[in-house]
Chain A
């Protein structure tokens, strides 16, 4: 029944028959293997690229570019594509240049950054909890960040700037959720239920804060409660522009660990993963990105659910689609804000409402689908 190869497979050590280290390996199915040699003595370097994941990211990138271009052309005053292109390089009609460079481009940038941050944060948290419902928005981190940021906006005697407060709030909510779910770990519904509870409490605190202040102050803080790209606190975008590459870079560096984290802990640990250490790192990145994104756009957390969902359906099941989640999140955010600006123009619908209208049914679908699949 077993040929020679079968028996050889049982040997403890590779016995060096029939292959030598220098022979280039053929890539496993569905991958490209990039291999190169640095100096004769060293083992060759090799990087595997998952073909489907790569193509998915490419497709999402093209989609994002197209959506971004549409974002620049469409609006209360539509511009011709040609006018947008020349306005981008600072030529043509002064009004168009102003519209594109001063109004639409910064907002587009904010949409891309926040969308990508929410997308990655969602993907990380889902992988951590091995449950696709466990996005930062659903387990209360968005609301925590919002409550703290609103407290800062309405000047509640706290001197920290909104971005810093949002980070503190995100961390507090995450700590509470993890603390309340203790024993159950990050697995299962206990974690999610605890998170929903924490989110509800922080949502109520936000409302309470707004109810107590003058109507004008409350109005100023309104975008915070629904999520909007209209009023972006100065400095928050800059902070996000620095934080996102850091967070995304860390997440990409963690991709190998992330793909092991999808196994049960015992398996992951048996394969050499320092599970608890990695889990803290993943959690920290997710909370950081959520806090920074909320400080720019408010709680648009459903992007953290929709983005990774799109990424996962396009990408391969072999890995965790970090990059694709970032791109899909950005794409969703850009499209949602574009819809919010255009649909009822000149009235603007906050982006948080658009994503809620789209994301709500999506969430229901995930919950109600027969044999609701977890990530595991």
Chain B
């Protein structure tokens, strides 16, 4: 199987004249979970939109398996890269199984609307995201966590090697967040490349293999969380001071004693 490499080359994304992402060169490791972190307005969601071709670059390119994604036909891209945006809205009254079936859309056509393979994949996607029991429930009757897993099931049914998630846990309580993160880990364990935008640095440290830290549209750090996350980086990103301690159980970094960083140093030492 080819390794599905997603990278950016000199990627610049603008809204009007405002530059959001500035000449970014990134390489996202295949088969791993990458978390994009940074303060509000740093351009992380815009970067994800750029990676998914929702936002055309002003300069540079997003490169998938050596090809500029602007050159790929829409359906071809949708067979290689699935996206779960932050504000995903579905038509009213749609059930979970119906939603997940939409994930097969890029594999279907006018004269190939339903196959045994579709049926099998949808069945497996429902089971993988643990929503098979909810298959016939309308989406609007589900809890936030269940709904998010249903959406992820849709992207699983898309059978893409790459999965982009924009703040998949932002509206969820802690229990539901863990459900989603563990599902993401299982997807990566089976060879999928996952790239997600995250708000919470501690979750990123815990669940990501690779961290991309942005500030003002520029890369501040990239690498395994254990190597790149330092108190200095935390201050640079969020203007806070903290103590970093390893989680006694997993070893991933935790932020303790968090406080606002002083604007200027009163006691130089």
Contact = CB atoms under 8 A, between A and B. Distances in A.
Contacts of A47: 110-111, 113
User: Which label, helix, strand, loop or mixed, suits the secondary structure of the A interface?
Assistant: loop
B235 interface: no
Given A10-B186, A272-B106, 8 more contacts: A12-B1, A18-B120, A19-B116, A29-B136, A253-B110, A271-B105, A272-B78, A373-B92
Contacts of B173: none
A264 B113 contact: no
7 contacts: A6-B130, A22-B116, A25-B115, A264-B85, A267-B83, A317-B92, A376-B92
A48 B111 CA distance: 9
Contacts of A11: 190-191
Given A3-B127, A317-B93, A33 B114 contact: yes
Interface residues of A, number: 55
Nearest to A262: B91
A273 B116 contact: no
Nearest to B118: A25
Interface stretch (B60-68, B95-103, B204-212, B215-223): B95-103
A256 B92 CA distance: 17
Contacts of B159: 12-14
A234 to B, nearest CB: 38
A337 B130 CA distance: 54
B46 interface: no
Nearest to B162: A12
The interface centre, meaning the residue of B54, B102, B114, B121 with most chain A CB atoms within 10 A of its CB, is B114
B89 interface: yes
Interface string A1-30: 111011111111110001111111111110
Contacts of B9: none
A204 interface: no
Interface in B108-136: 110-128, 130, 136
Nearest to A267: B88
Given A5-B124, A271-B106, A264 B87 contact: yes
B1 to A, nearest CB: 7
A9 B97 contact: no
A86 to B, nearest CB: 44
Nearest to A274: B74
Query: Which of B103, B120, B158 has the largest number of chain A CB atoms within 10 A?
Result: B120
A46 B127 contact: no
Contacts of B121: 9, 14
For the complex of A and B, the 4 pairs showing the least CB-CB separation, nearest first, are: A9-B124, A272-B78, A317-B93, A9-B128
